[in-house]
A and B are shown apart, each in its own frame.
Chain A
Amino acid sequence: MNLDAKIPSGPLERKWDRHRLEMKLVNPANKRKFDVIVVGSGLAGASAAASLAELGYNVKCFCFQDSPRRAHSIAAQGGINAAKNYQNDGDSAYRLFYDTIKGGDFRAREANVYRLAQLSVNIIDQCVAQGVPFAREYGGLLANRSFGGAQVSRTFYARGQTGQQLLLGAYQALCRQIGLGKVQMFARTEMLDVVLVEGQAKGIVVRDLVTGQISSHAGDAVVLATGGYSNVFYLSTNARGCNVTAIYRAHKKGAAFANPCYTQIHPTCIPVSGEHQSKLTLMSESLRNDGRVWVQKQKGDTRPPQQIPEPERDYYLERKYPSYGNLAPRDIASRAAKEVCDEGRGVGRGGLGVYLDFSDAISRLGVATIKERYGNLFDMYQTITGENAYQTPMRIYPALHYTMGGLWVDYNLMSNLPGLFVLGEANFSDHGANRLGASALMQGLADGYFILPYTIGHYFASSKPLKPSVSHPEFRKAEEEVKARTQRMLSIRGKRTVSSFHRELGKLMWDKCGMARNEAGLKEALQRIPALREEYWENVNVTGENQELNQALEQAGRVADYMEFAELMCYDALMRRESCGGHFRTEFQTEDGEALRDDAHCSFVAAWEYHGVDKRPTLHKEPLAYEEVKMTQRSYK
């Protein structure tokens, strides 16, 4: 497998400029001769589809939702980073680059991350021009806040709805191109396979979710912008429909999957209330600025929180990390919560929760101040739990939030399969082992607005891509495979629902490959996943038919892919004998419980090659060469 990252030579800050100069161009009159397939309509997909169409390419864009505006980018609350230095507080592209590399625990590519930081400033300009109503100061200029522990204020935001507003900006740009006839939009259409012709990605097979019709679309390049795979855990903050299917099917066709074990946990989510739970809701981490985290010291203490006297409370974050206290980083705060719950000191129904208590802040600052700062979050908490957090402590618990791993791509965002480009959360490139707050939106838009439009042209101009039509035998073959698989799922008519399997898989992954992992647990998971998968294919009950809107069938296909993909995650987590970022191996920690990286042996991207169900994937390593930055160990004591 060829994993040449194609990173341009020269000094870090000049690589992208130089690369832009060196890349070949497609003549403006010839662009209309190229067809591009874009799968996904979130920030990355919509911005790419719109920008490519503006340049003159013919674009087909696909999403499984009823409208491109629903994509899960819409749920991002916090904001988007950009190194504008509007606040005159010492920010620069270099500082944003360094913070992102460090935040990723030195497991991302320097060149990609630097480019991301450089492009961040263009994103803000672009979005403002589109009419994104970013927060402003009274003077009319853009407002910023500091976010996720950053020491500069570089985060731009639109109330708590930044993702929504950025997505609407990209969606509107996309709609403009649909109206102009340059983009053909296919909503309620799910990609079920990628088609290779002589090793090049030349099209996709899709299912129309309303009629069940399975058909093919051919193009000169295929762009996957299909998001992350947090839903392998069943419960996560992702939307219900988020899935690994598109990128996993591409993986099965030969695309390398990089760092699948890098998953991010968010420490402040609303805890699970029962078996029926369908998703978890995130609350902004800013709550930890004024809330104090605690549990009771005594195991099995079921008194209401107000009746537990001060000496019987354990403010465990303040105790273990005196200098950072309740503001300890996401992964540390998350693991500490799991530890106390594993000890049997968790609070609320099911014992999976810890208190986030505002009573001190309220007596110090008054209810009005707390309301002003967090009113909307307290309201949201009350909507979901029915509890008033001004009077009783909130209950919080960590949840899966974002996945840094994804398909391997080179500097041009092309996978190892020629013609297959991967953008946004679906690729692995920029966040290393952990993502910094307010960086997901930045990456999705940088990829779609400002990187792909250049690099895809270079691909078209420098290679002679094949131009097969959908009548090519490879398309027929892929369609037959998809139809056979669909029929197979519908013919089982077993005794268990799709959700019951998904829940079981999710729980197994959360326990064994969640926020803390170890060799024994991962090996156990690798035993149990194939058995569960086998049962799935014998005993799942998918009702209805193919030729109709069939939500059980849609879900069944996605869960079937998770059943295979989960194994890949465990292989990766088992192989990576170190702790870094979102990947914590209990065997590799310092005496204080801090992640212990092994830069000497583990400083590489793990790219996995598929060989078949029940066959061990092959590991390929892309070494991470750090020319600019010196790796350091973090300390939050």
Chain B
Amino acid sequence: MTLTLKVWRQSNAHATGRFVEYQANDVIPDMSFLEMLDVVNEDLTDRGEDPIAFDSDCREGICGMCSLMINGVAHGGQRGTATCQLHMRHFKDGDTIAIEPWRARAFPVIKDLVVDRIAFDRIIEAGGFVSVSTGGTPDGNAIPIPKDDQELAMDAASCIGCGACVAACKNASAMLFVSAKISHLGLLPQGKVEKNRRVLSMVKSMDEAGFGGCTVTGSCEAVCPKEISLDFIAQMNRDYLKALLERE
């Protein structure tokens, strides 16, 4: 296949970016999207041009480091698939593909397609944990946990922190990410103890980072590579309200 790529190039956080057109030749259907970009980068390097910067690490859909808006859709539109697991068999010979970074005020561009997602770490630092230190913990079986609660907590805990939810949202809201962590910990007896404190601090940190509010359009859920459910946002809203009232 031969494809035309329109790639966002921006040399650093302060520079003005623009789309640059490249040809991707000899693309084969078994390539992943990022492998296709690797090949384009090899060509650029051979021509003495600066290769396109993009983030990736595990390339098996679990580390959450890869990103990319592909034709305007976070992770390219295959349901439950991160960009690194998107394969070129979903494209046709002659296609034109627009590739952009995540766009959100809280995720400033560092270079080309690479953005800074440190705001997510800050939110976890604000309260996305159980306050236990190493050692002195009770036996793992001391507190039975209903299987359904554990399964639901696991659904929420599968979030890979990639930021697609923010990129897809017209308000650049981080509520799917934040609610997934709040629900994961809040559903388990170990995390319930500091539930109120957690939701209040995490929401505060989220607001301070410049993420927008949620208007429940569901675009986050649609692009989430781990198919995290919108229900968790509803759960978070309930938890938040309850925490506010209980604090009064």
Residues of A in contact with B (beta carbons under 8 Å apart):
47, 50-51, 54, 65-72, 74-75, 84, 86, 122, 124-131, 133-142, 158-159, 161, 164-165, 168, 171-173, 175-176, 178-179, 185, 187, 210, 239-241, 273-274, 276-279, 281-282, 383-386, 449-450, 453, 493, 495, 497, 499-500, 541, 543-544, 548-549, 551-552
Contacts and interface: CB of A to CB of B under 8 A. Distances in A.
Contacts of A137: 147
Interface string B201-225: 0000000000000000000000000
Contacts of B143: 128
Contact of B63 (A74, A84, A125, A176): A74
B131 A176 contact: yes
A172 B126 CA distance: 10
Contact of B32 (A175, A278, A493): A278
Top 9 A-B pairs, shortest CB-CB distance: A140-B144, A172-B129, A129-B137, A179-B125, A273-B30, A54-B133, A51-B134, A128-B140, A133-B154
A135 B89 CA distance: 35
Contact of B138 (A51, A129, A159, A185): A129
B122 to A, nearest CB: 9
Interface stretch (B48-56, B164-172, B234-242): B48-56
B127 to A, nearest CB: 8
Interface of B: 11-12, 28-32, 34-36, 38-39, 42, 44-46, 48-51, 53, 55-60, 62-65, 81, 85, 87, 89, 110-111, 114, 116-118, 120-121, 124-135, 137-141, 143-147, 150, 153-154, 157-158, 160-161, 184-185, 188, 190-191
B30 A386 contact: yes
Contact of B139 (A125, A159, A172, A453): A125
A278 B58 contact: no
A179 B32 CA distance: 38
A71 B36 CA distance: 24
A385 B30 contact: yes
B234 to A, nearest CB: 20
B139 A69 contact: no
Contact of B140 (A68, A142, A241, A386): A142
Contacts of A210: 110
Contacts of A51: 133-134
A66 B125 contact: no
Contact of B190 (A129, A164, A240, A541): A129
Nearest to B134: A51
B130 A129 contact: yes
A84 B125 CA distance: 32
Instruction: Identify the interface centre among A240, A276, A281: most chain B CB within 10 Å of its CB.
Output: A276
B188 A131 contact: yes
Contacts of A131: 129-130, 153, 184-185, 188, 190-191
A130 B130 contact: yes
Contacts of B118: 66-67, 187
A499 B137 CA distance: 47
Contact of A142 (B42, B58, B141, B146): B141
B150 A240 contact: no
A69 B63 CA distance: 8
Given A172-B128, A241-B57, A548 B138 contact: no
B65 A175 contact: no
Contact of B45 (A129, A175, A278, A541): A541
Contacts of B133: 51, 54, 173
Given A70-B63, A140-B145, A383-B81, A274 B31 contact: yes
B38 A165 contact: no
A186 to B, nearest CB: 11
A46 to B, nearest CB: 12
B85 A383 contact: yes
Contact of A140 (B38, B60, B146): B146
A133 B30 CA distance: 35
B57 A239 contact: yes
Contacts of A168: 157
B45 A552 contact: yes
